Structure 1
Amino acid sequence: MTPEPPDDPLGRLRALCLALPEVSERLSHGEPTWFVGRRVFVQYADHHHDDRVAFWCAAPEGVQEMLVAAEPTRFFRPPYVGHRGWLGVYLDVPVDWNRVAEIVEDAYRVVAPKRLLAQLDG
């Protein structure tokens, strides 16, 4: 599959996040952020700490290190939360939105309670 250009990355990311059970959006640190209950699983980063457009998300153990090592032009260790294994995903490069959807769902699975995971899998 050919990656798509980053036409409206915020809108596309928002749609992916809000499609998951019981997700809410609100600003946190000045950026759109998606929550499951009170727990953050994805945060948009529009030039938040550098000149890039990206998002930061929870990630299963070991995924951050693997993806950053394999594709440093697409993935990075975000500030503040990178030490906890969170993954940074650049959105100012050609984006494979199917892959981003998988990454967002994985982030949701890291923080969502079991009852919501059962709903997602049901």
Structure 2
Amino acid sequence: MTHPRNFDDADPLLRRVRALALALPDAAEKISHGIPAFYTTKVFAYFGGSIKIDGEYHRHEHSILVLLDEEERTALTEDPRCYVPAYLGPSGWLGIDLTAETDWNEIAEFLDASYRLTAGPRRVARLDAR
């Protein structure tokens, strides 16, 4: 089944996320389920997500989904910008809304943390060597 494209390449938020994500060693981008996914051998971030409310999916088009360690994820679930995304939430992923005032240094840190959990030791070593 082909998923509809749920993003606009000209979106300035996507452009900022793309620049941060693709600056990580060996990072690439692909379209997965209609949204940009950033990966090495495994996906470390998505641009856009959704939540399920009363059986219906509600899109969060201007957000990122990242995989975080349990301690950091637990702390962020209290943050009003954050949500547990449909499908990926039970596996440790967290959505972060980018439509409010966004600290892009913090977003870069979230992308870095997610990358470190998925990229493997050689790529993480390359990142640390920068």
Q: Provide TM-score, normalisation by structure 1.
A: 0.85
Q: Supply the AA of the counterpart residue of 2:63.
A: A
Q: Does 1:56 align with 2:59?
A: no
Question: Counterparts of 1:1-122 in structure 2 under 5 Å?
Answer: 8-37=12-41, 39-45=42-48, 49-52=57-60, 53-69=62-78, 71=79, 73-122=80-129
Cα distance in structure 2, aligned partners of 1:46 and 1:94: 19
Moved beyond 6 Å, runs of 4+: none
CA contact (8 A) 1:42 1:107 kept: yes
Percentage of matched positions with identical amino acids: 35
Cα distance in structure 2, aligned partners of 1:102 and 1:64: 13
If asked which structure has higher relative contact order (CA below 8 Å, sep 6+), I would say: 1
Cα distance in structure 2, aligned partners of 1:36 and 1:58: 14
CA 1:78–1:51: 2 relative to 1, 3 Å:
closer
**Uncovered stretches (5+) of structure 2, i.e. residues with no partner:** 1-10, 52-56
Structure showing the higher strand proportion among its residues: 2
Q: Supply the AA of the counterpart residue of 1:68.
A: T
Q: Provide TM-score, normalisation by structure 2.
A: 0.80
Shift of 1:87: 1.2
Q: Deviations over 1:51-97 (max 9, x none)?
A: 5321111111222221012x1x2111111111111111101111110
- Tell me the number of residue pairs that the alignment of Structure 1 and Structure 2 aligns: 113
Q: Deviations over 1:35-65 (max 9, x none)?
A: 112x111011177942532111111122222
CA 1:47–1:9: 2 relative to 1, 3 Å:
farther
CA contact (8 A) 1:64 1:77 kept: no
